[in-house]
Amino acid sequence: MPLVRIEIIKGQSKEYKKTLLQSVHDGLVSALSIPDDDRNQRLYELDECCYERSPGKTEKFTFIELTLFPGRSTEMKKMTISEITRFLEERLHISPTDVFIIINEPQLENWGLRGEQASEMGLEYKRE
């Protein structure tokens, strides 16, 4: 049940945004083996004046924050970053230098699902 927050500069087409969301999702399916219908994504568009970035970054600069259940292996996280970046480059021609991904892993006791603490639910998910 990854939670995805994507931030981009305003001005992209509806099709671009749809492809962006699909590319990130496909990377998660490929690397983490999540179900295809497990979608919890938010796309935020910011005005150019509200999106400061390092020199050399283009108008396609894409910031992706992933919040995952804890315990995935380093290899799975590496694959997640690689797959998302690959799909974005192949489908939207976003240079890898314009992709910034961060992974957060709050402990299960910090997740609330269906009115329960996730640590009490016996959740199963791929870790390696």
- Contact indicator for 82, 23 with CB cutoff of 8 Å: no
Of the CA atoms within 13 Å of residue 4, those in its CB half-sphere come to 27
Per-residue pLDDT tens digits for 51-95: 888 999 999 999 999 999 899 999 999 999 999 999 999 999 999
pLDDT in the model for residue 97: 97
- In the chain, domain spans: 3-120
Per-residue pLDDT tens digits for 7-41: 999 999 999 999 999 999 999 999 999 999 999 99
Q: Which of 90, 59, 88, 64 is nearest to 77 (CA)?
A: 64
E strand or H helix at 64:
strand 62-67
Pick among 3.40.50.300, 3.30.429.10, 3.40.50.620, 3.40.50.12780: CATH of 3-120: 3.30.429.10
- Terminal CA-to-CA distance of the chain, rounded, Å? 16
pTM of the predicted model as reported, rounded to 2 decimal places:
0.91
pLDDT in the model for residue 125: 74
- Of the pLDDT bands very low, low, confident and very high (cuts 50, 70, 90), residue 115 is confident
Dist CA 95 CA 57 (whole Å) = 9
Quick one: 94 exposed, middle or buried, by C-beta within 10 A (0-12, 13-18, 19+)? buried
- Output DSSP code: residue 3: E
